[in-house]
Chains A and B, each alone.
Chain A
Amino acid sequence: MVLCFMLSDRVAAPPVIALRAIEKWYGTRDRPVHALSATDLDVGAGELLVLLGPSGCGKTTLLRMIGGLIAPTSGHLSIVGRSLWARGERQSDALADLGMVFQDANLFPWLSIEDNISLPLELKGMSATARRTKAHDLMKLVGISGFEKRWPRELSGGMRQRAAIARALSYDPKILLMDEPFGALDAMTRDAMNLELQRLFLTTEKSIVLVTHSIAEAVFLADRIVLLSPRPGRIDQIITVPFARPRTLELQATAEFQSIVLGLRQRLTEIS
């Protein structure tokens, strides 16, 4: 009952990300590369959407366009109802709803962990005391309390990535964009981070778009998986993952989980 209500609620709410005929060409006029053919996509409020596909399918290009790091060649892109691009300029009000996490933590080595996390707040002109309070709360949220004054190089890869997530959450954006955030981590840490991300997703009510090339990670995390195929990049299919949350690592051993993974793997082999 509750689930049905939530689902209908989700469908009724306007999408937080809306792509209309978004297309991307790279390269020179003589040798253009079609990175992404005209794509329509909606991401619902409170949804965890995973972009999955072989390399060269344009999944990172797509994510970086949503994040405003690269401009689409044509099409319209809106974030929580506001256009991200207008007259060739990025719109800062739309950007304020986006937080980005990259494959590398990209922490600044000259800032302490605390200062790295509160860097976005500093850029927005928040006072030092307010920043510190906020940074401590965030560090508690992502589970790295006690490392406030450490340099990034003193932390493990997983902890650095937690700090990067805290940084992206610092200004409370509605949407978190994650580009293979756990791709550089070892398998054990990766499992832990997947559980951690799910916990954050359930407690913070963010919408998340996550790029990965790991099928198991996609199925474990996603509400919906967007499967992209290459040359040119385009949406091949969209799969809804039915498992209830919170999901546990044991879920990965179930037959239903395995069959979704297998189906995706076969399709990936066909298209890549």
Chain B
Amino acid sequence: MAEAPSDAAFTGRPAPQRRSWLAGREATIPWITTPLLLAVLVAIWHSYVRVSGISPFILPGPGAVLSDWIDLIQSRRAWFHAGMTVYATLVGFFWAALIGVVLGVLIARIRWLELTLNPFIVATQVIPKVALVPLFVVWFGFGITSKVIVAGVLAFFPILTNTVLGVKSIDEGHRDVMTALNASRWQIFRRLELPSALPYILTGFEVGIVLAIIGAVVGEYLGGNQGLGHLLIQSMNGFETSQMFAVLIQMSLIGFAFYFSIGLLKRLLIPWHATGGA
């Protein structure tokens, strides 16, 4: 053993002195390292701003950003804008999820529909959808509708493709069980296809919700006078760089909240799955 430490890999014997400090702590380590790393980055940022004497119009210090962010969360107007962004994201995501899942199930089950729609799905995947935003503004105006639609369109495709994949990757052996049990079409859908595809669908949701926020914000950049995207552009035009940072922080926090909500949904709906947590 001592003269050949690589033996451990072949005999399957653990090498405790080398890996033990990580064992059993994998879940807790990020809770320590993440704030630590964040603090280090903020410290670097702070000292860079101090030492370089860079103009606060280009890069404000963390202190200025923090105080602007506190102003932001105390302002009713800012919460109204945040609310509009959340609204556009959620409504867009809702329609994307509904249409994406239903169409995905149909495409996966009906062969001719898949053959007909597949070229279009591939084509629309390739089109940079954000580039269509001006068109949506022309069609649906500067109001909330165009934001909802941009959010929905962006969220739609990952949900659709994941649903198709999920329904298609149902285990043939599981199907045999249901066939042998003489299950009805509805029972097969409800008891086999849906739960089987659920991890895939929720992964689609996870990607989709983040894209929906991007869609809503980009929609707000281009038109109208509502939403965090609009607030960001407004701050830019007023050279209020530290307020831009504050808005960015606000957007990121909303993004985190959505992403973790889907994570929570996973824990609730697919506790049996490896990605569904304990």
Contacts and interface: CB of A to CB of B under 8 A. Distances in A.
Contact of A109 (B179, B180, B191, B272): B272
A100 B187 contact: no
A167 B198 CA distance: 24
A227 B26 CA distance: 55
Contacts of A90: 182
B177 A123 contact: no
A120 interface: yes
Interface residue range, chain B: 10 to 19
Contact of A69 (B174, B176, B270): B176
B176 A106 contact: yes
A147 B196 CA distance: 22
Contacts of A5: none
A210 interface: no
A208 interface: no
Contacts of B195: 108, 110
A248 interface: no
Q: How many of chain A's residues touch chain B, expressed as a range?
A: 20 to 34
A108 B183 CA distance: 15
B273 A69 contact: no
Given A108-B195, A110-B195, A100 B272 contact: no
B173 interface: yes
A218 interface: no
A25 interface: no
A67 interface: yes
Interface in A62-116: 67-69, 90, 92, 95-96, 98, 100, 102, 104, 106, 108-111
Contact of B183 (A102, A110, A123, A151): A123
Contacts of B273: 109-110
Contacts of B191: 108, 119, 122-123
A92 B176 contact: no
A205 B214 CA distance: 64
Interface string B242-255: 00000000000000
B192 A67 contact: no
A167 B187 CA distance: 17
A90 B178 CA distance: 14
Contacts of B176: 69, 100, 102, 106
B180 A98 contact: yes
A106 B187 contact: no
Contacts of A111: 272
B181 A106 contact: no
A72 to B, nearest CB: 16
Most chain A CB within 10 A, of B180, B272, B273, is at B180
B71 interface: no
A102 B173 contact: yes
B171 interface: yes
A123 B181 contact: yes
Given A123-B187, A123-B191, A100 B180 contact: yes
Contacts of A167: 177
A160 to B, nearest CB: 12
Given A119-B191, A123-B187, A123-B191, A108 B174 contact: yes
Given A108-B174, A108-B195, A110-B195, A68 B180 contact: yes
Given A102-B173, A123-B187, A123-B191, A110 B270 contact: yes
A1 B272 CA distance: 55
Interface string A144-181: 00000001010000000000000100000000000000
A100 B179 CA distance: 10
Instruction: Name the residue in A90, A95, A108 with the highest tally of chain B Cβ atoms < 10 Å from its Cβ.
Output: A108
B271 to A, nearest CB: 8
Contacts of B187: 123
A69 B181 contact: no
26 contacts: A68-B179, A68-B180, A69-B176, A69-B180, A90-B182, A92-B182, A95-B180, A95-B182, A100-B176, A100-B180, A102-B173, A106-B171, A106-B173, A106-B177, A108-B174, A108-B192, A108-B195, A109-B272, A109-B273, A110-B195, A110-B270, A111-B272, A119-B177, A119-B181, A123-B181, A123-B187
Interface of A: 67-69, 90, 92, 95-96, 98, 100, 102, 104, 106, 108-111, 119-120, 122-123, 151, 153, 167
4 smallest CB-CB distances across A and B, nearest first, come from A106-B173, A100-B180, A110-B195, A110-B272
Given A95-B180, A110-B196, 11 more contacts: A90-B182, A102-B173, A106-B171, A106-B174, A106-B176, A108-B192, A108-B195, A109-B273, A110-B195, A110-B272, A153-B272
